[in-house]
A and B are shown apart, each in its own frame.
Chain A
Amino acid sequence: MARRSEAIAVLGRAVRTPRGATGLVIAGLVVLVAVIGPAVAPYSTTQFVTSPFARASSVAWLGGDVLGRDVLSRTLDGGWELLAMAAVATALGVAVGAALGVMAAYYGGLWDSVIMRAVDVILAFPQLVFALLLVSILGPKIWLIVLAVAISHAPQVARVTRAAALDITERDFVKAMQILGIPGRRIIRKDVLPNLTSVLMVEIGLRLTYSMLVIAGLSFLGFGLQPPAASWGLMINENRVGLIAQPWGVLMPAILIALFTIGVNTFTDSVARASLGVGGRATEPDAELALVAREVS
Chain B
Amino acid sequence: MTAPSEDIPVTEVSADPGTPRLAVENLRIVMAPRRGRPETDVVDQVSFTVQPGHVLGLVGESGSGKTTVALALLGLVKRGLAIGGGKVLIDGQDILALSEHELQKLRGKTVAYVPQDPGSALNPVLKVGTQLHEVFAIHGGDAERLTQVMAEAGLEDPGPILASYPHQLSGGQQQRVALAMAFACRPRLIVLDEPTTGLDVTTQRRVLDTVRGLCRTYQVAAVYISHDLAVVAEIADHVAVMYSGRLIEIGAAGELFGSPAHPYTRGLMRAIPSLELSHQLLGMAGSPPRPGNRPAGCSFRPRCEFAIAECELREPEAVVVSDTGHAARCVRATEVAALSGTALLARERTVPPAQEPVLTISDVSVSYTTKRVLRDISLDVGARKAVAIVGTSGSGKTTLARCVVGLHQDWTGTITFGGKELLPGVRGRTRDQLRKIQFVAQNPYGSLNPRQTVGQIIGQPLAHFTKLPGKEHDRRVADALISVALRESFASRYPDELSGGERQRVALARALVVDPELLVCDEITSALDVSVQAAIVELLLRLQAERGLALLFITHNLPLVRSIADDVTVISAGEICERGPVAQVLTAPSHSYTRQLLADVPSIGPE
Interface residues of A, Cβ cutoff 8 Å to B: 1, 3-4, 6, 171-173, 175-182, 190-191, 194-195, 278-279
Chain B residues with CB under 8 A of A177: 460
Q: State A152–B494 Cα separation when bound (angstroms).
A: 38
Q: State A83–B451 Cα separation when bound (angstroms).
A: 33
B443–A181 contact, CB under 8 A? no
B447–A173 contact, CB under 8 A? yes
Residue of A nearest to B440 (CB): A176
B70 in the interface (beta carbon within 8 A) = no
Chain A residues with CB under 8 A of B451: 3, 6, 191, 194-195, 279
B437 smallest CB distance to A (angstroms): 8
Q: State A249–B407 Cα separation when bound (angstroms).
A: 65
Chain A residues with CB under 8 A of B305: none
B528 smallest CB distance to A (angstroms): 15
Q: Which of B105-113, B340-348, B386-394, B426-434 faces chain A?
A: B426-434
Beyond A172-B447, A181-B434, 18 additional contacts (C-beta under 8 Å) are A1-B491, A3-B453, A172-B446, A173-B457, A175-B407, A178-B407, A179-B405, A179-B406, A179-B426, A179-B434, A180-B435, A180-B465, A181-B426, A182-B460, A191-B449, A191-B451, A195-B450, A279-B451
B461 in the interface (beta carbon within 8 A) = yes
Q: State A116–B456 Cα separation when bound (angstroms).
A: 35
Interface residues of B, Cβ cutoff 8 Å to A: 405-407, 426-427, 429, 431, 434-435, 438-439, 441, 443, 446-453, 455-457, 460-461, 464-465, 491-492, 494, 496, 507, 510
A180–B449 contact, CB under 8 A? no
Chain A residues with CB under 8 A of B449: 173, 191, 195
Residue of A nearest to B438 (CB): A179
B434 smallest CB distance to A (angstroms): 5
B464–A1 contact, CB under 8 A? no
Chain B residues with CB under 8 A of A172: 441, 443, 446-447
B446–A171 contact, CB under 8 A? yes
B407–A179 contact, CB under 8 A? yes
CB pairs A–B below 8 angstroms (7 shown): A172-B447, A173-B447, A175-B441, A176-B441, A179-B426, A180-B465, A279-B451
Residue of A nearest to B441 (CB): A172
Within the complex, which residue of A1, A191, A279 is in contact with B492, where a contact is CB–CB below 8 Å?
A1
Residue of B nearest to A196 (CB): B451
Within the complex, which residue of A6, A176, A181, A278 is in contact with B439, where a contact is CB–CB below 8 Å?
A176
Residue of B nearest to A193 (CB): B451
Chain B residues with CB under 8 A of A176: 439, 441, 447, 507, 510
Q: State A171–B405 Cα separation when bound (angstroms).
A: 16
Q: Which of B447, B491, B496 has the most CB of A within 10 A?
A: B447
Chain B residues with CB under 8 A of A195: 449-451
Chain A residues with CB under 8 A of B491: 1
Chain A residues with CB under 8 A of B407: 175, 178-179
Provided the pairs A179-B439, A180-B464, A194-B451 are in contact, do residues A173 and B446 lie with their beta carbons within 8 angstroms?
A: yes
Q: State A191–B446 Cα separation when bound (angstroms).
A: 13
A279–B452 contact, CB under 8 A? no
Q: State A173–B460 Cα separation when bound (angstroms).
A: 11
Chain B residues with CB under 8 A of A171: 446-447
Chain A residues with CB under 8 A of B439: 176, 179
Q: State A176–B444 Cα separation when bound (angstroms).
A: 12
Within the complex, which residue of B429, B456, B492 is in contact with A181, where a contact is CB–CB below 8 Å?
B429
Provided the pairs A279-B450, A279-B496 are in contact, do residues A1 and B460 lie with their beta carbons within 8 angstroms?
A: no
Provided the pairs A1-B491, A172-B441, A172-B443 are in contact, do residues A178 and B426 lie with their beta carbons within 8 angstroms?
A: yes
Q: Which 10 A-B pairs have the closest CB atoms?
A: A279-B450, A172-B447, A172-B446, A194-B451, A173-B449, A181-B434, A172-B441, A171-B446, A181-B426, A180-B461
Chain A residues with CB under 8 A of B426: 178-181
Q: State A194–B465 Cα separation when bound (angstroms).
A: 23
Chain B residues with CB under 8 A of A191: 449, 451
Within the complex, which residue of B434, B448, B455 is in contact with A180, where a contact is CB–CB below 8 Å?
B434
Chain A residues with CB under 8 A of B507: 176
A167 smallest CB distance to B (angstroms): 11
